[in-house]
Chain A
């Protein structure tokens, strides 16, 4: 547990489906940084460290961003692990503050690829994708996770409508999030009638690419603005290339550390009040919840129908990436962390989960060939 490091502020830019002239990855990141610093009530000149992730910052790197932001630092990190980058950066930043390497530390993620830019990234994601998948016309991650979803449906007897419960529940949360790009209510009829993208994935199963950025501030809990509880991370764990792509992709790297995570946090799944589960695809939300031990008897179908369909568990309360939007993979992980912080600080407005005290957040990503190779999870807690 981190005793001398906590999350004390969060901020984000607007999210837009298509960046307009004058908007770039850099400007979205700037807006998120300004918002986070204002939220944490910290002056930019006090920042000693920064971690950043983005698919579209190149040719700039982290130090270029520090320069453009006018930040002189003694701790700097650039993470390249896609959907779990935010969780990686969170862990590194907490350790950086806890050990006295730097404080405060900014953790930033943002992208503004545009749809065409994202398609190029998807086709050149790694050497395996460029050489062995893109020539098939695999359609980026949609093609990969359509196969994983079919596998999951067959193994756990899931129906198409089971995934619909998640899309509909998250859209209802998004209606209460002014930053979400899709806020109109979604019905099961609309979900089931949506155009097929990559069988069995339809439009509402595929995370919408947006432009935008998120930022959080890590510092000693004493630096948290007066009247607001800092958010402590009780435990955080990561996994990279957990099975050499030799499994079926229905388990994630979370399965390798879940028991240890709960033990280190001194908590159980039943203690969790709100969950931010990386939702690039509905199937992967269920897979991560299952790996975390949050689905009784590994009965994914009943969980989807009852717990999610009947809104018994608050999952992805900002609308998730599926409704709020995914700014590249990297920032997508940071908005789940930010939302957990807002919930634990009782600052989530209309979507506030009453009495939320503990949250679980996850990251998942970096499709190596047949499914994702990185995963991470953390247990967050409001400090009293």
Chain B
């Protein structure tokens, strides 16, 4: 597990992307630098309760998250965070996950 989620940021116009693009959709240059987004706000949540072809399935929580200074991404939620919650982001492999930010 690594802290934050890796995104790709256009060096020319600063737009952040996830997943990776070949050209920036704003300025159409191809010079990207790796960046990381550490936090985001949960916008919508779903629970995947049934999946075709799976007989032994444990429900998973997914959320659409507006990252801070980055794109909207879909993450796996590791807790009961709901819409409006500020969450910390982390990666497992290439997949983004999140959980509520602990109180200071």
Contacts and interface: CB of A to CB of B under 8 A. Distances in A.
B46 A246 contact: no
B62 A128 contact: no
Contacts of A188: none
Contacts of B51: 119, 137, 139-140, 142
B2 interface: no
B44 A147 contact: yes
Contacts of A196: 47, 49-50
Interface in A123-174: 127-128, 131-133, 135-140, 142-144, 146-147, 150-151, 154
A87 interface: no
Interface in A231-248: 244, 246
Chain B interface SS verdict (over half):
strand
A150 B44 contact: yes
A309 to B, nearest CB: 25
A204 B101 CA distance: 36
Contacts of B71: 246
A195 interface: yes
A122 interface: yes
Interface size class of B (residues with CB under 8 A): 20 to 34
A376 B53 CA distance: 31
A44 interface: no
B49 A119 contact: no
Interface residues of A, number: 37
Contacts of A301: none
Contact of B53 (A115, A135, A143, A150): A115
B80 interface: no
A243 to B, nearest CB: 9
B27 to A, nearest CB: 13
Contacts of B53: 115-116, 118-120
Given A131-B19, A132-B95, A140 B60 contact: no
A179 interface: no
A131 B52 contact: no
B44 A244 contact: no
A246 B60 contact: no
B44 A128 contact: no
B48 A370 contact: no
Contacts of B96: 132, 136
A158 to B, nearest CB: 14
Given A119-B53, A246-B71, A139 B94 contact: no
Contact of A122 (B52, B74, B75, B94): B52
B79 interface: no
A199 B76 CA distance: 14
A370 B49 contact: no
Interface of B: 18-19, 25, 43-54, 60, 62-64, 71-76, 92-97
Interface of A: 115-116, 118-120, 122, 127-128, 131-133, 135-140, 142-144, 146-147, 150-151, 154, 195-201, 209, 244, 246, 369-370
The 7 closest A-B pairs by CB, nearest first: A119-B53, A135-B95, A146-B46, A137-B60, A136-B76, A139-B48, A244-B25
